[in-house]
């Protein structure tokens, strides 16, 4: 039940109601009173008579004031309405229906919230009069759609049927801004009806200041679609890797995080993992109220390349996004960039001979899990570091400034760096250029005779990089090695993973961003130690390489949210080429790649539905580590079914007046009465009564 005015500007006329009182006050006579005892009894009689006259004057003043008030109200044309419906009467109506088609509407209204919302919109349209106009605006729009007010009900109903659920969050700023834009035309009565579950997520970032135009005279009436009972509100929050990398035939550990938005614990929730449409693992878990639960799932990937993954939660009565798409890219080989700081004409005498043979004993590209690429220091400036998971510097004297800058970014992104010492390595240069990377100053070189070499005294076998050496035979092998040349460093504590019998560090580790850095103070060949010819050398190099690859080995893509822009980065051979993207609904799209530094870059904006987006990559000298798909998921907070309160909504929409009514009120209908005629009759009666009183007085 409400009262509104067709022409509220005339309400300013109520100020004129004070005029009769002002005139009365200005016309009051100021008399000089002189007391005269002879007429005292006459004055007492006059007081009794004047009381009656004073009352009549006050009544006359009230009638004149009421006449002015009634005239102002009559000009403003008040309308009395019950219910939320629109019915004939009160002049032509220009109505805008904001229909919430965000994803949360699928879980509102006991699971049929969007259906109820469309029925409510249909009822509003059919209730319009012949001279009324209306427009329907879904809350998930770009703002560029050609929307206008229409008289034809059949056209409006057809538009209503074509609106479907979107997988993103309601954009109230764009929708409401469009409503005020099309209501800018002159009209007898303008109204906005919002049919929504009033999910809090859509209002989080809303502000009236973001709208280009606002008309406070146009109220907003929100018709709430709600559930009778609070559901078990739960959703998949994220997925993340739990192991050291993603490779072919290696254990793949994934952590699934499930969030509970409801106030009660959810028990026996089934969490399933599927890869390429096949179930791989599942577990039961319990999620505390208003909390998260982490579930570890495990599988293996038998083939290299990109795979489509999906996490699914199952339990009766759940409301919220029950699945999460993700992409996982497995590599069959680790790409290692090896820099030979002391190249020789004889391969056996080369600084990197033993290292490359440990990584790839047969020397064939498909015969090992590791694919080393050997270059000399002069090729560092032009090297594309992102193409490799680990970089190994073997007795490299100095490093170009351009390479140092790229190396820092490479490490922050999760890359691995292994540095071997040697007679060419210039400590002053490394301390100056790589101070933030090494974090430990390199001191003087210590060299002696092979016969007087130091043995290895300490192995930190609990560290992930050295756990593969826990076998007794391998420990005996590595401890039998002798080191007669090395660079001394100032390191201690947990950063020292291997040390000599005299206490000097042999292997140290530091972290830079998401990446890892290791420094072996002796050489990679036999110049300073006999470690390369020991049995433990090969498994040690493998273990260090696997550990350093860390987050750069393979790729887990947790996906972007619906509506976000996907940034594509491909090898430089794709510059100027057109990449074809196939959306989950099989619709094709294209992206033109442009040059960006040493990569091909592009962006794709039309990520409007959730699922797996496939990339068609042909030619372009593609890298083996280039993903061929990416995932898009509904916004996580869209699963949160918490509603905005009426008071909060009114504060958000201020200075526009906002009311909230349940959808049941709309179904009950209502009536609308134009109060102009009753006000006119009351005004005439007031004027007649005022004239009669004035004559009597």
Q: Is the Cβ–Cβ distance between 329 and 366 less than 8 Å?
A: no
Three-state secondary structure call for residue 217: coil
The predicted structure's pLDDT at residue 247: 76
User: Structure pTM?
Assistant: 0.68
pLDDT tens figures, 225-254: 887 778 889 999 999 988 656 777 778 889
Give the torsion through C-alpha atoms of 672, 677, 683, 684, to 10 deg. -160
Confirm or reject CATH 3.30.300.160 for domain 334-552, answering yes or no: no
Residue 371, pLDDT score: 87
Using an 8 Å Cβ cutoff, are 344 and 257 in contact? no
Do 110 and 120 meet the contact criterion of CB atoms below 8 Å apart?
Answer: no
Return the H-helix or E-strand segment holding 496.
strand 496-500
In terms of Cβ atoms closer than 10 Å to its own Cβ (0-12, 13-18, 19+), residue 284 is exposed
SS3 sequence of 135-185:
EEEECCCCCCCCCCCECCHHHHHHHHHHCCCCCCCCCHHHHHHHHHHHCCC
Backbone angles phi, psi at 433, to 5 degrees: -85, -35
Q: Which has more confidence, 287 or 80?
A: 287
Residue in 200, 299, 210 with CA at minimum distance from that of residue 246: 299
CA 435 – CA 416 distance, rounded (Å): 17
Non-local (6+) Cβ contacts of 396 within 8 A are 339, 341, 377, 424, 425
Tell me, rounded to whole angstroms, the distance of Cα 649 from its chain centroid. 22
pLDDT above 90 (res 25) = no
- Residue pLDDT, tens place only, 587-618: 999 999 998 877 889 999 999 999 999 998 76
Q: Answer whether 453's CB lies under 8 Å from 534's CB.
A: no
Average of pLDDT values for 187-212?
89
CATH of domain 233-330: 2.60.40.10
Query: Rounded distance, CA 259 to CA 274, Å?
Result: 20
Taking residues 430-442, report their average pLDDT.
91
Per-position b or e across 380-415, b if 16+ CB within 10 A of its CB: beebebbebbbbbbbbbebbeeebeebbbebbeebb
Given a contact cutoff of 8 angstroms between Cβ atoms, the answer to whether 521 and 484 are in contact is no
Read off the tokens for 596. 């960006």
Q: pLDDT (tens digit, 9 = 90+) per residue, 378-405?
A: 999 888 898 898 999 999 999 998 899 8
pLDDT at 338: 96
Average pLDDT on 136-146 reads 82
Res. 546 pLDDT band, cuts 50 70 90: confident
* Burial degree of 436 (CB within 10 A; 0-12, 13-18, 19+): exposed
Distance in angstroms (rounded) separating the CA atoms of residues 484 and 193: 84
Which residues, in sequence order, are CB contacts of 257 under 8 Å at separation 6+? 236, 237, 238, 239, 240, 292, 293, 294
Beta bridge partners of 590: 580
Are the C-beta atoms of 95 and 193 separated by less than 8 Å?
Answer: yes
Q: Where in the chain is the domain with CATH 3.40.50.410?
A: 81-229+642-674
Collapsed DSSP state (helix, strand, coil) of residue 694: helix
Q: Which residue has the higher pLDDT, 369 or 29?
A: 369
Looking at the DSSP bridge assignments, the partners of residue 293 are 258
Q: Which residue has the tokens 């009794």?
A: 48
CATH 2.60.40.10 maps onto the chain at: 233-330, 556-633
Output the average pLDDT for the chain. 86
Helices 113-126 and 153-162: angle between axes, nearest 10 degrees: 170
CATH node for 81-229+642-674: 3.40.50.410
CATH class for the region spanning 556-633:
mainly beta
Residue 478 host element (H or E): helix 472-479
User: What was the pLDDT predicted at 621?
Assistant: 45
Kindly state the tokens that stand for 169: 């969050």
Higher per-residue pLDDT: 243 or 548? 548
- Is residue 78 within 8 A of residue 89, CB to CB? The reply is no
* 298: helix, strand or coil: strand
CB 143 within 8 A of CB 177: yes
Q: Does the pLDDT at position 520 exceed 90?
A: yes
Q: Which residues contact 157 (CB under 8 A, 6 or more apart)?
A: 122, 125, 126
92: enclosing H helix or E strand: none
3-state secondary structure of 418: strand
């Amino acid at each position: 039940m409400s009262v509104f005015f067709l022409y509220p500007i005339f309400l300013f006329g109520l100020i004129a109601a004070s005029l009769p009182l002002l005139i009365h006050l200005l016309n009051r006579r100021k008399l000089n009173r002189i007391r005269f005892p002879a007429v005292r009894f006459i004055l007492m009689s006059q007081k009794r008579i004047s009381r009656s006259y004073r009352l009549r004057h006050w009544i006359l003043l009230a009638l004149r004031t009421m006449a002015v008030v009634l005239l102002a109200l009559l000009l403003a044309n008040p309308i009395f309405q019950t219910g939320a419906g629109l019915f004939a009467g009160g002049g032509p109506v220009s109505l805008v229906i904001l229909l919430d088609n965000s994803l949360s509407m699928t879980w509102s209204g006991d699971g049929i919230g969007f259906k109820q919302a469309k029925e409510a919109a249909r009822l509003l349209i059919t209730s319009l009069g012949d001279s009324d106009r209306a427009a329907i605006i879904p809350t998930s729009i770009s703002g560029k759609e050609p929307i206008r007010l229409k008289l034809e009900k059949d056209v409006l109903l057809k538009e209503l049927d074509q609106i479907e659920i979107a997988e993103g969050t309601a954009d109230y700023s764009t929708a409401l801004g469009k409503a005020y834009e099309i209501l800018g035309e002159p009209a007898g009565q303008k109204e906005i009806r919002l049919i929504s579950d009033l999910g809090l997520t859509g209002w989080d970032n809303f502000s009236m200041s973001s709208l280009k135009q606002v008309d406070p005279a146009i109220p907003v009436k929100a018709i709430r679609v709600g559930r009778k009972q609070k559901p078990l509100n739960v959703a998949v929050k994220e997925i993340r890797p739990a192991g050291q990398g993603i490779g072919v035939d290696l254990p793949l550990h994934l952590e699934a995080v499930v969030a509970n938005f409801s106030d009660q614990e959810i028990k026996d929730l089934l969490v399933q993992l599927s890869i390429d449409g096949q179930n791989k693992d599942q577990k039961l878990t319990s999620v505390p109220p208003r909390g998260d639960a982490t579930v570890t799932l495990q599988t293996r990937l038998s083939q290299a390349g990109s795979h489509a993954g999906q996490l699914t939660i199952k339990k009766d009565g759940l409301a919220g996004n029950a699945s999460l798409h993700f992409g996982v890219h497995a590599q069959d080989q680790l790409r290692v960039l090896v820099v030979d700081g002391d190249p020789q004409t004889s391969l056996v005498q080369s600084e990197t001979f033993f290292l490359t043979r440990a990584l790839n004993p047969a020397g064939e590209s498909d015969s090992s899990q590791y694919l080393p690429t050997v270059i000399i220091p002069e090729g560092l400036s032009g090297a594309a570091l992102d193409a490799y998971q680990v970089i190994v510097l073997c007795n490299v004297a100095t490093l170009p400034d351009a390479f140092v800058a790229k190396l820092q970014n490479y490490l922050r992104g999760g890359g691995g760096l292994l540095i071997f010492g040697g007679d060419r390595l210039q400590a002053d240069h490394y301390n100056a250029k790589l101070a933030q990377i090494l974090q430990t100053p390199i001191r003087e070189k210590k060299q002696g005779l092979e016969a007087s070499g130091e043995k290895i005294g300490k192995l930190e076998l609990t560290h992930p990089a050295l756990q593969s050496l826990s076998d007794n035979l391998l420990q005996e092998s590595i401890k039998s090695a002798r080191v007669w040349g090395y660079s001394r460093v100032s390191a201690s504590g947990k950063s020292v993973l291997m040390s000599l019998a005299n206490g000097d560090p042999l292997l140290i580790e530091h972290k830079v961003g998401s990446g890892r850095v290791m420094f072996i103070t002796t050489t990679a060949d036999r110049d300073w130690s006999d470690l390369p010819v020991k049995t433990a050398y090969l498994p040690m190099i493998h273990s260090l390489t696997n550990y350093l690859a860390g987050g750069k080995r393979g790729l887990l893509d947790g996906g972007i949210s619906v509506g976000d822009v996907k940034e594509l980065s491909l090898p430089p051979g794709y510059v100027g080429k057109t990449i074809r993207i196939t959306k989950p609904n099989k619709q094709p799209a294209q992206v033109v790649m442009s040059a960006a530094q040493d990569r091909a870059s592009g962006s794709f904006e039309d990520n409007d539905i959730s699922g797996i987006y496939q990339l068609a990559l042909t030619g372009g000298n593609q890298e083996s580590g280039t993903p061929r798909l990416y995932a898009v998921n509904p916004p996580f907070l869209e699963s949160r079914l918490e509603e905005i309160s009426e008071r909060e909504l009114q504060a958000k929409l201020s200075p526009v007046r906002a009311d909230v009514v349940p959808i049941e009120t709309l179904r009950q209908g209502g009536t609308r009465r134009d109060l102009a005629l009753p006000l006119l009759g009351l005004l005439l009666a007031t004027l007649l009564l005022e004239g009669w009183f004035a004559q009597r007085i």
